[in-house]
RNA sequence: GGUGGAGUGGCCGAGAGGCGAGGCACAGGACUGCAAAUCCUGCUACACGGGUUCAAAUCCCGUCUCCACCUCCA
């Protein structure tokens, strides 16, 4: 059996995954700054790393997964004044929006989900350590900076040279010893929330919280640190800088998901091209959005278009409909089984597109088995397909995807439609095709598609108008 | 200016020296009262120009185009 390899941004190569603690895997993922509702780029990141977590779990590791919530920062303060809310009310509002989007898309909840504001003590301790050892300084205005020239190594992840960085145009640069020094802690402006520190009242800078929280929950070193590709610099570089300056080895492997683009450009709120999760869920079902966002390789750009989304949803319905027909013929639901080809694909740096090709193949073979009523083969193929879907977090039998009340409704509907199908069958038996087609067309107009199979007619809801 | 990534058939999208990934669309066929679904067959592509090699989408050199990051970003 093959074993897991993952692409590591630090070494720029695919390396075998060797856990620090045998049988365990620790992951820290940079979560959201909760200042606006989630768009599909945000949840893509969560889904990509959810697939990683699921695969590690399937592979037998005990996974500790941390995903933080940044609940204090400049944008949150700005937005709060615009929305006429307190900063904490705004942060909670959007934290909940993210949480419900993650739940809707069947992203497994992290082991712990720490908030920045809950870890001020740990941040102050870290700053104290760095000030004591001379890598950080408090110039007296309430800010605390990290002095990047004191570091033995810096910019190893993005492979840049300090001299090549375009210098910041910050107006407060006057307190910095070097314009490239970055703020770990920001002095409070009048009216802003603040926490007391030995260097004055203020609030955390963005980078400090992740160093402090990763250390709190995962210790001085852990297996995987993840995040979006846009976080490599400065965020992750600065996390490394702070943590290693404190003497912590920090993350062993760095993984970055590629971004979602629209019209060739990065999806972001400021560009005005972001597709909110809530808006996209008007178009496709939750499981279909998950399938779409998870089906690209995590290191490939995903270019969003409504057409691509629709196409992906149609492809997923084919699989779903196969499983439905298979379980009907088998008399029970498929049991998730990991096929060898799926295992190899996933172990190869989570090669989801390759896994998809294997699903397509199994689907074709399964359909043949269905046509021939080859129950043994049908069982095998449907089990493997369900196993693959489960790894991708897109198992149609997962209760996470069942709509409330759907089951009861479906049963009632089933009886009603069976009645209509019986009428249609008797019309067909007397070759009264006008009457039989009238029944089929009538059902179609109600959003019920009828297909005649060797096992008799089957019905399904046409999903186009749904959710 | 610096640092990365990318360009593959009508479209999407894997692969990374030699065996046509896969999907969608399209065309033909099988099945069907018709349709749908399903299956079978067809569609031989790797930005451009050089080079290395018995063999290049893959390696090397050069060029073009696009994207991301350079202290707000997932």
For chain A, give every domain's residue range: 5-257, 300-401, 406-465
Q: Which nucleotide is nearest to A226 (CA to C1')?
A: B74
| Chain A 348..387 CB hits on strand B (< 7 A) | 348, 351, 353-354, 356-357, 360-361, 363-364, 367-368, 370-371
Question: Residue A173: its pLDDT value, please?
Answer: 58
Instruction: Please give the distance of CA A265 from its chain centroid, rounded to a whole number.
Output: 20
Characterize the bridge pairing of strands A260-262 and A5-8: unpaired
Distance A14 CA to B56 C1' (A): 23
Say yes or no: domain A5-257 is CATH 3.50.50.60: no
**Chain B nucleotides covered by protein, CB below 7 Å:** 1-5, 12-15, 21-25, 32-40, 66-74
Question: Residue A460: its pLDDT value, please?
Answer: 82
Question: Residue A2: its pLDDT value, please?
Answer: 74
CB A396 within 8 Å of CB A320: yes
Question: Residue A327: its pLDDT value, please?
Answer: 94
Query: Which residue has tokens 């992906």?
Result: A312
Q: Where are the alpha helices (DSSP H) in A105-205?
A: 120-132
CB A390 within 8 Å of CB A398: yes
CB A107 within 8 Å of CB A62: no
Which fold, A300-401? 1.20.120
Query: Which residue has tokens 């944008």?
Result: A75
Distance A259 CA to B48 C1' (A): 28
Question: Residue A179: its pLDDT value, please?
Answer: 87
Query: Which residue has tokens 């959710």?
Result: A467
Give the separation between CA A50 and CA A113, rounded to whole angstroms: 14
Strands (E), A157-201: 182-187
Q: Which nucleotide is nearest to A45 (CA to C1')?
A: B74
Characterize the bridge pairing of strands A250-257 and A221-228: parallel
Question: Residue A27: its pLDDT value, please?
Answer: 98
Three-class secondary structure of residue A198 per DSSP: coil
Give the separation between CA A138 and CA A313, rounded to whole angstroms: 54
Three-class secondary structure of residue A169 per DSSP: coil
Question: Residue A411: its pLDDT value, please?
Answer: 76
Distance A342 CA to B19 C1' (A): 21
Distance A168 CA to B11 C1' (A): 42
Q: Smallest Cα–Cα separation from A313: which of A465, A101, A142?
A: A465
Give the separation between CA A269 and CA A235, rounded to whole angstroms: 19
Tally of CB atoms within 10 A around A426: 12
Ranges under pLDDT 70 in chain A = 1, 167-173, 404-408, 463-467
Distance A225 CA to B63 C1' (A): 38
Question: Residue A235: its pLDDT value, please?
Answer: 96
Question: Residue A412: its pLDDT value, please?
Answer: 82
Q: Smallest Cα–Cα separation from A60: which of A11, A3, A7?
A: A3
Residue A283 contacts strand B, CB under 7 A: no
Tally of CB atoms within 10 A around A16: 9
Give the separation between CA A308 and CA A159, rounded to whole angstroms: 35
Burial of A41 (0-12, 13-18, 19+ CB in 10 A): buried
Q: Smallest Cα–Cα separation from A459: which of A272, A324, A270?
A: A324
Question: Residue A447: its pLDDT value, please?
Answer: 82
Give the separation between CA A280 and CA A107, rounded to whole angstroms: 17
| Chain A 419..448 CB hits on strand B (< 7 A) | 428, 433, 436-437, 440
Residue A344 contacts strand B, CB under 7 A: no
Residue A149 contacts strand B, CB under 7 A: no
Q: Show Cβ contacts of residue A418 under 8 Å, excluding neighbours closer than 6 positions.
A: none
């Amino acid at each position: 059996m093959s074993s897991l390899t993952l692409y590591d941004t630090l070494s720029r190569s695919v390396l075998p995954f060797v856990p620090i603690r045998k049988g365990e895997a620790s992951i820290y993922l940079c979560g959201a700054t909760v200042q606006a509702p989630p768009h599909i780029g945000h949840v893509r990141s969560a889904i990509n790393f959810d697939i990683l977590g699921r695969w590690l779990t399937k592979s037998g590791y005990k996974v500790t997964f941390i995903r933080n919530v940044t609940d204090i920062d400049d944008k949150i303060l700005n937005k709060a004044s615009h929305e006429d809310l307190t900063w904490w009310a705004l942060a909670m509002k959007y934290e909940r929006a993210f949480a419900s989007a993650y739940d809707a898309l069947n992203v497994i909840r992290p082991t712990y989900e720490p908030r920045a504001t809950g870890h001020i003590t740990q941040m102050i301790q870290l700053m104290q350590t760095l000030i004591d050892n001379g890598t950080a300084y408090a110039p007296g205005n309430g800010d605390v900076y990290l002095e990047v020239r004191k570091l033995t190594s810096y910019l190893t992840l993005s492979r840049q040279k300090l001299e090549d960085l375009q210098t910041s145009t910050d107006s407060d640069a006057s307190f910095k010893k070097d314009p490239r020094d970055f703020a770990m802690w920001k002095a409070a402006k009048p009216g802003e929330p603040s926490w007391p520190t030995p260097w004055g009242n203020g609030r955390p800078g963005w980078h400090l919280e992740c160093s402090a929280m990763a250390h709190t929950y995962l210790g001085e070193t852990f297996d995987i640190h993840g995040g979006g590709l846009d976080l490599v610099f400065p965020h992750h570089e600065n996390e490394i800088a702070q943590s290693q300056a404190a003497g912590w080895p920090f993350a062993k492997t760095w993984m970055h998901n590629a971004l979602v683009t629209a019209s060739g450009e990065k999806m972001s709120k400021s560009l005005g091209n972001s597709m909110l999760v809530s808006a996209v869920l008007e178009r496709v079902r939750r499981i279909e959005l998950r399938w779409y966002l998870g089906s690209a390789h995590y290191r490939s750009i995903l270019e969003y278009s409504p057409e691509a989304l629709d196409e992906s949803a149609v492809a997923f319905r084919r699989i779903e409909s196969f499983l439905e027909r298979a379980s009907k013929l088998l008399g029970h639901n498929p049991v998730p089984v990991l096929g060898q080809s799926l295992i190899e694909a996933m172990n190869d740096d989570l090669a989801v597109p390759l896994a998809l090709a294997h699903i397509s193949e199994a689907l074709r073979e399964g359909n043949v088995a269905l046509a021939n009523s080859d129950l043994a083969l049908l069982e095998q193929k449907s089990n493997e397909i369900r196993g693959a879907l489960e790894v991708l977090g897109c198992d149609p039998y997962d209760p996470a995807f069942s709509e409330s009340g759907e089951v009861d409704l479906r049963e009632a509907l089933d009886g009603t439609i069976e009645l209509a199908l019986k009428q249609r069958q008797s019309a067909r038996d007397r070759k009264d095709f006008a009457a039989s087609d009238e029944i089929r067309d009538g059902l179609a107009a109600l959003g019920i598609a009828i297909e005649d199979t060797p096992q008799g007619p089957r019905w399904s809801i046409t999903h186009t108008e749904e959710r």
